[in-house]
Amino acid sequence: MPTIAKPNETTLDRIKLPFTFDVAKMQEEIKPLQQNQFVYYNAVQLRAPAHMVDTSLPFPPPANDYADGSWTDWLDTPTLKTMPYIASVIDSFRDYTTVNLVRLLRLAPMSEVKEHTDPTLGLEIERSMIRLTIPIVSNDQVTFYLNDKPVPLQTGECWYLRLTDPHRVLNHGQTERINMTIDVLPTDKMKAIILGR
């Protein structure tokens, strides 16, 4: 694995992690999904709360705090079971952390995600998850802005982004953008990778 420099405070909102994945294999596995039409934005669940995957399971009881994902069990969806390589990508993080929610986030051509924050998706937040982002399909007219600065995301790379900060996405291209997001717990092993220790 390549090494990454230990970030300083000014770069802590975006950190490219020392993982790269086979873009061609991922793109091949998601081709059937791309035949499904959608307007603007589409989230495809690959891991989800257990009761949503298996509807015979009871709805989990109310929780005081939902931020770290411990309020429910998480299961792979039938969609993920058709994607062995992508499943192996997700499994590769289990050596470092617990994997909860996983989605493919599709943004249509000539669309944008308005600026917003995700209050519980930051390394500094106690009892939270953090989100890893792996771009799978993109074009040169896609820009992800974090704190008003572009993040140079490239397909097959893996990034930690501090999404408690303001962020937005522009897709001014003629093709859709698809990122895989993997919500994990900020374990000591995961923090060490993110912080380059």
What is the DSSP annotation of 59-85?
PPPP-S--TTSTTS-EEE-TTGGG-HH
Q: Which amino acid is at 78?
A: P
Residue 190 lies in a domain: yes
Q: Which amino acid is at 173?
A: G
Residue 140 lies in a domain: yes
Number of structural domains found in the chain: 1
Inform me whether the pLDDT recorded for 129 exceeds 90. Answer: yes
Residue 114 lies in a domain: yes
Q: What CATH number is associated with residue 102?
A: 2.60.120.330
Residue with the bigger pLDDT between 196 and 52: it is 52
Residue 9 lies in a domain: no
Q: What is the pTM of this model?
A: 0.92
Residue 5 lies in a domain: no
- Average pLDDT on 140-150 reads 98
pLDDT tens figures, 17-54: 999 999 999 999 999 999 898 989 999 999 999 999 99
Instruction: Quote the pLDDT of residue 11.
Output: 58
Inform me whether the pLDDT recorded for 168 exceeds 80. Answer: yes
Residue 168 lies in a domain: yes
- Give the residue numbers spanning the domain of 48: 17-194
Inform me whether the pLDDT recorded for 10 exceeds 70. Answer: no
